[in-house]
Structure 1
């Protein structure tokens, strides 16, 4: 029997996201948490290890970005979590939406190997992993313009994240940029980048985190036309020279 370490916080789920996880989902997250803490002894998957921090910064934060008024996950869709790290936001989202097939993309082989072990052990059947840099993956026919949903968190500036995400999306697909800091003046710069990549900013949502009371921003970008083949640019260029 697993000793529960994570808080349930069902009232907070209801108050903030108007929803709460099932008992089965809570059990799955508890197993996930304990597996990640155990794996952290071998490789630094995440610095966020305290139960309440893990709940807020990994579980709550991951799901706060999924606005079902903007993203329709009723049918079978393909999603990609770019720069997944320890599996966030991709794994919590896959837990809640079994119709969503989530690819967890990261360039760090050791992290992906550990995530594969965790996914197999916990039987996350709608998650799979992919090793590579988004600049390379975005130019491969098998992956380019394949996904309905792209999630990207803590990978780079908004412009860089957009260049990573939009080439991977189908026309009509949605990219969600998870941001910790955002200023209204940033929207003008990002708007220009988004248009170059065939997208359109459809919503920017600011929310307060329930425990630490910090501001999170979620930027929703819709792919409205084909992205030019010159994007994403070669490895390192988007970071060195953002659009």
Structure 2
């Protein structure tokens, strides 16, 4: 039987550097390639992603994941890159609704000193991620099955994270309700969005005020290969969550 040759991801070092002022080292390149291979293999039995072409995978899963935390990446030739974002130190992150591991896995690869929890309510996807982590040699991430509202009641997770990541989870107001109870005071939630409207921002503002959060910034950008429209919405946890539940 002929062995199927897996396509090789483009390295895109110039684009990494130009757009994020960062590029992966050799080990990280190898981990990205292996992650791509595992996702394509896993897709045969699990609905992980429809994005499997190499350049599209690079742009929409790797680059897009890291664009949201660009100012946390180690600067290449820019010493003040991280000076204003986020304000408190970032040690623990949670990727809510991680699915196939995005954006959490690329972030764990790019930031090996960051502890990343990959949360999803689908047990099969978490079981898949539990096989992926050792295959990639990732020791700074762990997979967790559950719903955000359930684990937010557990002492080890409630107000325990510096950073919450939400990509393709649902409406922005729902994302805020999922993320803010898990964040420490001063923690940051990053909502990965496609388009972004004034109506969405108005609805989100009314929601997060009741949860003790504020919209810190909204960044609009385009993806480097296909020129797709993207937004990242940054929410800051400013006060402790109210004791009464938010329905």
Give the number of aligned pairs: 231
| 1:183 and 2:186 aligned | no
Please, what TM-score do these two structures have when normalized by structure 2?
Answer: 0.89
Q: 1:204 to 1:33 in 2, by over 3 A?
A: same
Asked if structure 1 preserves the Cα contact closer than 8 Å seen for 2:6 and 2:37, the reply is: no
- Pairing 1:36-51 to 2, within 5 Å after superposition: 36-51=39-54
Name the structure 2 match of 1:240.
none
Match among 17, 20, 43 for residue 20 of structure 2: 17
Name the structure 1 match of 2:149.
135
- Pairing 1:74-223 to 2, within 5 Å after superposition: 77-223=91-237
Please, what TM-score do these two structures have when normalized by structure 1?
Answer: 0.90
Runs of 4 or more off by more than 6 Å in structure 1? none
Unaligned runs of 5+ in 2: 72-81
| 1:66 and 2:65 aligned | no
Unaligned runs of 5+ in 1: 234-243
Asked if structure 2 preserves the Cα contact closer than 8 Å seen for 1:167 and 1:232, the reply is: no
Aligned CA-pair RMSD: 1.7
Q: What is the rounded CA distance, in whole Å, between the counterparts of 1:142 and 1:103 in structure 2? A: 12
Q: What is the rounded CA distance, in whole Å, between the counterparts of 1:71 and 1:4 in structure 2? A: 37
Q: 1:121 to 1:223 in 2, by over 3 A?
A: same
1:21-63 Cα deviation digits (max 9, x unpaired): 1111111100111011111112122111111111011000000
